[in-house]
Structure 1
Amino acid sequence: MSQLVVRESRGDIATLTLNRPSVLNAINGAMRDALIEAFQELNQDASVKAIVLTGSGDRAFSAGQDLAEAAAFSPEEVEAWMTHQCRLLQAMRDLEKPAVAAFNGVAAGVGFQLGLLADLRVGYPDMRLGQPEVKVGLASIMGSSLMALHLGHALNSELSLLGNLITGQRAHDIGLLNRLVTKEQVVTTAWTLAEEFAALPSEAVRLSKQRFRAQSQSAFDAACTDLVRYQYERYLTGEPQAIMQRFLTKSA
């Protein structure tokens, strides 16, 4: 497996670590492929009963889409990019083993979306998380769809349309985080939850997850269709590419 995603196992629990710490574990095409492969392998591994997903380093779970990659896409490449993104998220949805997201740092954009698709999420009070797509000129399509599984319309609209990151404390207050602990306790708490999952009858958990997935599959499929259409429309204007390039230049 690619070292962009590191797998470690201890007993019947597997940890997957997003491993691009120099760019805050930003997700590019190669990492999408590595994650899809990892999720599929975990589904086939009978020795694994639960999964912890986290990020490398102490700054980020994942800052989201790699802007250097996204800024270089042409409008004609948007469909393949968004289809690949949906394949990644569907692979996370298809996990038959319970998964706990250990938010060891910032979780934004598609990184946050992966966390939303975990069964439980652990974070700390002053971490930052959310859906900042509108700030780089992209429509908030998938993020708003996935947040609808957790939030009412008013809060979803605020996070999707303003694009501001919120603190872990507020995320816990509104129900996006299941556990709020110190930063040092995030991974160990996620492990404790994974151990609790692993001790349960696995088939009962698998079927319960399958039911949850079935309830939201049609909305997810619709979001994937709209993701291609709306982001293609945005890329035709050239605005997202220009905003991303200005950000990259400023950060260089």
Structure 2
Amino acid sequence: MTKYIKLEQQGPVTVLTLNRPECLNAWHAPMRAEILDAVRSAGADPKVGALVMTGAGDRAFCAGQDLNEAREFDASRAQSWIGEWETYYDVLRSFYKPLVMALNGTAAGSAFQVSLLGDIRIGHEGVRMGQPEINAGIASVTGPWIMREMLGMSRTIELTLSGRMMEAAECHAIGLIHRLVPREQVLPAALETARMLAAKPPVAMRLNKARLREMTEASFRESIRAAERIHHESYESGEPARMMQAFFTEREQRRADANPHAK
């Protein structure tokens, strides 16, 4: 049984739903562990031809890292944390069956990166995607790696330093979202695409995906080593902790203002 994700089999397609809608499906270590187990199982199961990943609710695919987990990190923990992300990304990159992302809302930070590790992305007009780590005082390393691979250096610089979120139309125009459909059609369209891909010759699919992974393997590993070094320095400075504390303080104040009679 899983606690933080839901799994459903739709013919040859496994649907993996991130299931923490109360926090916009933000992930923490236990949730990522469940995702890893599910992806590995899908890869080993001959009855599974493709995987669709989506989020519970209608607000977010995933808000990225759960800041409640990261707010107490020190330099040493931040550095080891990158090793956990290396494993997570490596398992997704090594999944040699089709991986379709059904984007049902915001995909921010690490969730933006994970969505880009999928093969096909389907979204709706309300989707927002981006790399806002700088706004929380967190240095961004793996995000720029994958953005540069897909978008080139100029746009990578702008998105990394501004931390802005892109609307669906922009994401579609620059090729990050492959299909825009009405909100209620996102999952059906993703299933349709996943079934189509699952029907392709499996050896050719595996070899194509293996080669695509090889093409970015060296730069991926370099970005992870850089992330270990940079996040150690970032968290050692105390800036991420200060920025995250300011975020939580502001959020609590907004809640208090919205409900002044709460005790």
Rounded Cα–Cα distance in structure 2 between residues aligned with 1:137 and 1:214: 32
Structure 1 stretches lacking a partner, 5+ long: none
Q: Is the 8 A contact 2:105 2:128 kept in 1?
A: yes
- CA positional deviation for 1:81: 1.0
Inter-partner Cα distance in structure 2 for 1:153 and 1:124: 27
Q: Write out per-residue CA displacement over residues 60-110 of structure 1, whole angstroms, 9 at most, x where no aligned residue.
A: 100000011111111121122111112111111111110100110100011
User: What corresponds to 1:117 in structure 2?
Assistant: 117
The corresponding residue for 2:154 is 154
TM-score (norm 1): 0.97
Between Structure 1 and Structure 2, how many residues are aligned? 252
1:19-41 CA-to-partner distances (Å, cap 9, x unmatched) read: 11100010111111111111111
- How much has 1:126 moved relative to structure 2? 2.8
2:62 maps to which residue? 62
- Which residue does the alignment assign to 1:140? 140
Q: Which residue of 2 aligns with 1:214?
A: 214
The alpha carbon displacement at 1:18 in A equals 0.7
- C-alpha contact (below 8 Å) 2:8/2:15 kept by paired residues: yes
Between the aligned partners of 2:96 and 2:3, the Cα distance in structure 1 is 23
User: What value does the CA root-mean-square deviation take over the aligned residues?
Assistant: 1.0
Percent identical pairs in the alignment equals: 40
What is the distance in 2 between the residues matched to 1:78 and 1:182? 39
Partners of 1:25 and 1:63 within 8 A in 2: yes
Are the counterparts in 1 of residues 62 and 107 from structure 2 also a CA contact under 8 Å? yes
In structure 2, the partner of 1:84 is: 84
Contact 2:62 2:106 in 1 (8 A): yes
C-alpha deviation, 1:15, in angstroms = 0.4
**Which segments of structure 1 move beyond 4 Å, counting only runs of 4 or more?**
none
Contact 1:79 1:228 in 2 (8 A): yes
What residue ranges of structure 2 are gaps of 5+ in the alignment? 253-263
CA distance in 2, matches of 1:236, 1:176: 34
Query: What letter corresponds to residue 18 of structure 2 in structure 1?
Result: L
Match of 2:32 in 1: 32
User: Which residue identity does 1:95 align to in structure 2?
Assistant: F
Secondary structure of 1:14's counterpart equals strand
- For 2:248 and 2:89, the matched residues in 1 are separated by 26
Q: Match for 1:213: what amino acid? A: R
Judge conservation of contact 1:68–1:248 (CA < 8 Å) in 2: no
Give the match's secondary structure for 1:177.
coil
Larger radius of gyration: 2
Is 1:198 paired with 2:198? yes
Partner of 1:75: 75
Residue 211 of structure 1 and its aligned partner are, at CA, apart by: 0.3
> Residue 105 of structure 2 contacts residue 126 of structure 2 at CA under 8 Å; is this kept in 1?
no
Contact 1:130–1:164 (8 Å) recurs in 2 = yes
Structure 1 residue 138: Cα displacement: 1.4
Shift of 1:202: 1.2
The Cα shift of 1:2 comes to: 2.2
2:42 is aligned to: 42
Question: What do residues 200-251 of structure 1 show as CA deviations (whole Å, max 9, x unaligned)?
Answer: 1111111100000011011110111111110110101101111111112222
Give, as a single letter, the amino acid of the residue that structure 1 aligns with 2:65. Q
Q: Deviations over 1:5-55 (max 9, x none)?
A: 211101111000111110001011111111111111111111000111000
Shift of 1:168: 0.8
- Deviation (angstroms), 1:149: 2.1
Q: Do the aligned residues in 1 keep the contact of 2:171 with 2:177 (CA within 8 Å)?
A: yes
